[in-house]
Amino acid sequence: MCYAIPGKVEKIEDRFVTVDYFGEKRRAINELHDLAIGDYIYAQGGFVINKIPLAEAQEILAVWKEEFFHLQEVDLKLSRLDLKKKGVDEKLVRILDKPLVGQPLSQEELLYLLSLNNEHQLQLLYKTANFLRAKHHKNSCCVHGIIEISNYCKRSCAYCGISLQNHSAKRYRMSREEILEAARQAIDEYGFKALVLQSGEDSGYKIEELAEIIQQIKANWPALIFISFGEIGLDGLEVLYKAGARGLLMRFETSNPGIYQELHPGQDLNIRLEHIRKADQIGYLILTGGLIGLPGQTAGDILNDINLAKELNAEMFSFGPFLAHPQTPLAKFPTPSEEDVVRVLAVARLIDPAKAKILVTTALETLSSASRKEALLAGANSVMLNVTPLQYRPLYSIYPNRAHQSETIESQIQGTISLLKSLGRAPTDLSI
């Protein structure tokens, strides 16, 4: 199964190409030197990844063509919206009408949406968010893989299971050969076109080593590479971009400096934001967001978090529940509900309907096995599968009982594709 669908290059203008995708036109950034009009390509995150032979492209497209339009029909049915039903709360309808016609919502209106707890009202919110997702993003759903290369971390975050203070954590650090083999398997055997390389802030890897690993992956198995190594320094961001990394996954976690300081003793929120802003200036795709249900967090904080993610020019929003590890100072702090998180994702879609891809996090899936479907029907359009080698996956224990930590890659793929097909979603990502 390919996690992108081939497109045909119709126009080349400087760094940009126009790609035909079953009659729909999309633009992508091209960094290939030998690309020509008429070539077939894979693209992810708005970047051309690689060319594919004509015969291979035509074979894949022949399989996908009928299925693709069937999926669009299913998605259209599920995202159809009717705000004219009798008995619907008039205040809620007036608010939800505004984003449908491109009008921004006020802070008061957004806070009202974040306060909803009536099931009927929530379903109307979710349907509106899903309609906007379909309107602006069609039925595409990003499917990325993540490889957690090390659980060493020099930070002492008050809730994270791989914190330096968790002396009971069994540490691991994958070798260069292990990382390359995991990447090869994910890209070459399983068809992933986008991979996240993630670790704690591990000083055991030099930036030059990480750069060489990224260069080798790009040279051998074309894919869109995201990095998630924490605060590696502004120079480090430059080095890894030159090596071929094109995305940065770095949550700011909260826009409230006081809460941030409580969670991260001795760390400065401004430094983290400086990293994200610098990455955006360099050209990275930004994947960022916050945690929902933090100690002392208000609805106003959550709204500020969503607005900050938009301000940071995020390609993808990553908002998930606060889940503290039992071996940390915040072990006994309660976790939010699935409803609390999905409501935030729906409001995030209303705030940034046209650009942001919204991720269903593993942490949300840990709260409930049904949450992936619920979130996808509430405006989300991205999922991430864990392709870390099974012997290491349980050791990356940032919170307990993570979803998918013992599932094979094959099992995750089968479950994901089955769900996406049932919702009319296609695993593709061509737009910028």
Helix H, strand E, coil C: the string for 51-67 is: EECHHHHHHHHHHHHHH
Over residues 325-353, the mean pLDDT reads 97
Over residues 213-220, the mean pLDDT reads 97
pLDDT of 217 above 50: yes
What is the reported pLDDT for 429? 47
Over residues 331-345, the mean pLDDT reads 97
pLDDT of 430 above 70: no
CA end-to-end span of the chain = 23
Q: Within 13 Å and on the Cβ side, how many CA atoms surround 123?
A: 7
Q: Which residues contact 157 (CB under 8 A, 6 or more apart)?
A: 163, 263, 264, 328
Q: 304, exposed or middle or buried, with CB in 10 Å at 0-12, 13-18, 19+?
A: middle
Helix (H/G/I), strand (E/B), else coil: 308: helix
pLDDT of 86 above 90: no
Helix (H/G/I), strand (E/B), else coil: 179: helix
Q: What is the pLDDT of residues 12-30, one digit of tens each?
A: 998 999 999 888 888 999 9
Q: Within 13 Å and on the Cβ side, how many CA atoms surround 274?
A: 10
* Cα separation, 47 vs 218, whole angstroms: 13
pLDDT of 84 above 50: yes
pTM summary value: 0.95
Over residues 71-93, the mean pLDDT reads 81
What is the reported pLDDT for 22? 83
| Cβ proximity of 145 and 384 under 8 Å | yes
Helix (H/G/I), strand (E/B), else coil: 218: helix
What is the reported pLDDT for 168? 95
What is the reported pLDDT for 374? 98
Q: Which domains does the chain have, with CATH numbers?
A: 7-77 (2.30.30.140), 137-422 (3.20.20.70)
Angle 117-120-125 (CA atoms, 0-180°, nearest 5)?
Answer: 75
What is the torsion angle, in degrees rounded to the nearest 10, for the CA atoms of residue 363, residue 355, residue 377 and residue 359?
-10
Q: What are 365's two structure tokens? A: 């899936």
pLDDT of 88 above 90: no
Identify the residue with better confidence: 150 or 78.
150
What is the reported pLDDT for 428? 67
DSSP output for 104-151: PPPHHHHHHHHT---HHHHHHHHHHHHHHHHHHHTTB-EEEEEEEEE-
| Cβ proximity of 237 and 284 under 8 Å | yes
User: What is the DSSP-derived secondary structure letter of residue 18?
Assistant: E
Q: What is the pLDDT of residues 90-144, one digit of tens each?
A: 899 999 999 999 999 999 999 999 999 999 999 999 999 999 999 999 898 999 9
Over residues 57-74, the mean pLDDT reads 85
What is the reported pLDDT for 65? 78
DSSP output for 156-204: --SS-TTSTT-TTPPP-B--HHHHHHHHHIIIIIT--SEEEEEESS-TT
Q: What is the pLDDT of residues 277-295, one digit of tens each?
A: 999 999 999 999 999 999 9
pLDDT of 405 above 90: yes
pLDDT of 1 above 60: no
Please state, rounded to an integer, the average pLDDT across all residues of the chain.
94
Q: What is the pLDDT of residues 358-391, one digit of tens each?
A: 999 999 999 999 999 999 999 999 999 999 999 9
